[in-house]
């Protein structure tokens, strides 16, 4: 009897099936948590932003300081993402396809920005480039501004967002091995041909995934940027900093209107991420089948 019962259970709904009420309890708890801490705040952003109607919403976005903040944010992302895309591909290529001394050290180094508080990342740059910093006097003598200026914001953002693309690509490229590249080389392909015709098509969804995550973080970074920006209105404020300023001035509708831009960005990111993750899974499972 018991043996029959056991086989039935493992053949039926999987060996680790819980009673129905446990499953529903767990699912409800997870959904309630998500609703309370994610969906409600997200909805609140849009409700607050549109509190005084569309007119006021658009008016808040048209304000010159806000437009300047949007422009700076776009510039920062436009510099950071390509830089990190390049470094990310180079680093993960080196790590996945070659074996060399200090490889694990390099991986740790790539992860460093993840483990350091963004405020500390900002302070590092102040220490190096600030007036009292190591390079401060020299920079001042040559009239180069880094801290409390756009270059500082870009540097801090590059630092914070560095791991996103590399971290995405390293496991993917490692799982794919290097036999396809070797095959391309024996067939007479040059290094560049091998990259663009063999490697790139295999990692493109991973790259897209990394790029959108990196972009979302580059646009939304607050801590590190806050330290190096100096909060000069209309000049060194990014969107997150502008939101904070508006909020501190009790200008809630405007603050939430600007914040809704970031929330919108998050939703778009989420959508692209879902698609690219799905495609990524597909390319991995194809790779798995081929082994």
Partner 1 sequence: MSIDIEGISKTFGGFTALDNVSLKVPSGELVALLGPSGSGKTSLLRIIAGLEAPDSGRILFDGEEATKRQVQERQVGFVFQHYALFRHMTVFDNIAFGLTVKPKKIRPGKQEIRDKVNKLLHLIQLENLADRYPAQLSGGQRQRVALARALAVEPQVLLLDEPFGALDAKVRLELRRWLRRLHDEIHVTSVFVTHDQEEALEVADRIVVMNNGRIEQQGTPSEVYDHPATPFVYDFLGNVNLFQGRVHEGTAQMGGLNLSSPENASAHDAPAVGYVRSHDIAIERQAGDPGAIKAEVRYLLSVGPLVRVDLLLPDGNRTIEVDLTREEAERLQLTIGEQVFARPRKMRVFVDDYQI
Residues that bind partner 1 (CB under 8 A): 179-180, 182-190, 193, 197-198, 201-202, 283, 286-287, 289-291
Residue showing tokens 């290097």 = 178
Least gap, CB of 187 to partner 1 (angstroms): 4
By beta-carbon proximity to partner 1, the closer residue of 143 and 290 is: 290
Q: What is the largest CA-CA distance in the chain?
A: 89
By beta-carbon proximity to partner 1, the closer residue of 5 and 289 is: 289
Give whole-number Cα distances, 196 to 25, 172, 199, 203, in Å.
Answer: 49, 16, 6, 10
Least gap, CB of 164 to partner 1 (angstroms): 24
Least gap, CB of 191 to partner 1 (angstroms): 9
Alpha-carbon span 153 to 88, nearest angstrom: 20
Least gap, CB of 177 to partner 1 (angstroms): 8
Least gap, CB of 288 to partner 1 (angstroms): 9
Least gap, CB of 201 to partner 1 (angstroms): 4
By beta-carbon proximity to partner 1, the closer residue of 203 and 212 is: 203
By beta-carbon proximity to partner 1, the closer residue of 102 and 188 is: 188
Give whole-number Cα distances, 175 to 50, 87, 238, in Å.
Answer: 47, 20, 38
By beta-carbon proximity to partner 1, the closer residue of 48 and 202 is: 202
B/e letters for 195-226, b = 16+ CB within 10 Å, e = fewer, are beebbeebbebbbbbbbbbbbbbbbbbbbbbb
By beta-carbon proximity to partner 1, the closer residue of 103 and 233 is: 103
First to last CA, the chain: 42
Give every CB contact of residue 238 below 8 A, 6+ residues apart in sequence.
69, 72, 73, 76, 153, 219, 221, 225, 229
Q: Check if the beta carbon of residue 234 is closer than 8 Å to that of residue 62.
A: no
Least gap, CB of 175 to partner 1 (angstroms): 12
By beta-carbon proximity to partner 1, the closer residue of 195 and 252 is: 195
Give every CB contact of residue 226 below 8 A, 6+ residues apart in sequence.
119, 122, 240, 241, 244
Query: How would you write 223-249 as a 3-class SS string?
Result: HHHHHHHCCCCCCCCCHHHHHHHHHHC
Least gap, CB of 286 to partner 1 (angstroms): 5
CA angle 89, 90, 94 (to 5 degrees): 115
By beta-carbon proximity to partner 1, the closer residue of 142 and 289 is: 289
């Amino acid at each position: 009897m018991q043996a029959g019962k056991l086989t039935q259970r493992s053949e039926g709904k999987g060996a680790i099936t819980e009673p129905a009420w446990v499953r529903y309890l767990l699912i409800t708890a997870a959904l309630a948590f998500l609703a309370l801490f994610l969906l409600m705040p997200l909805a609140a952003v849009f409700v607050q932003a549109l509190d005084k109607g569309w007119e006021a919403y658009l008016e808040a976005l048209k304000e010159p300081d806000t437009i300047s903040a949007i422009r700076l944010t776009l510039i920062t992302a436009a510099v950071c993402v390509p830089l990190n895309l390049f470094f990310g591909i180079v680093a993960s290529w080196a790590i996945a396809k070659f074996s060399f001394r200090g490889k694990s050290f390099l991986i740790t180094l790539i992860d460093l920005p993840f483990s350091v508080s963004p405020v500390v990342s900002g302070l590092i740059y102040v220490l190096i480039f600030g007036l009292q910093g190591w390079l401060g006097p020299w920079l001042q003598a040559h009239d180069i501004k880094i801290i409390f200026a756009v270059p500082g914001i870009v540097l801090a953002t590059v630092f914070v967002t560095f791991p996103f693309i590399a971290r995405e690509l390293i496991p993917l490229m490692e799982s794919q091995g290097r036999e396809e590249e070797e095959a391309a080389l024996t067939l007479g392909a040059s290094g560049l041909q091998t990259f663009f015709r063999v490697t790139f098509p295999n990692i493109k969804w991973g790259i897209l995934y990394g790029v959108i995550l990196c972009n979302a973080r580059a646009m939304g970074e607050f801590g590190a940027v806050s330290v190096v920006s100096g909060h000069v209105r209309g000049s060194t404020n990014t969107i997150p900093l502008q939101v904070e300023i508006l909020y501190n001035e009790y200008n809630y509708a405007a603050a939430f209107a600007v914040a809704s831009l970031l929330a919108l960005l998050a939703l778009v990111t989420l959508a692209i991420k879902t698609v690219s993750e799905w495609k990524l899974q597909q390319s991995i499972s194809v790779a798995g089948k081929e082994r």
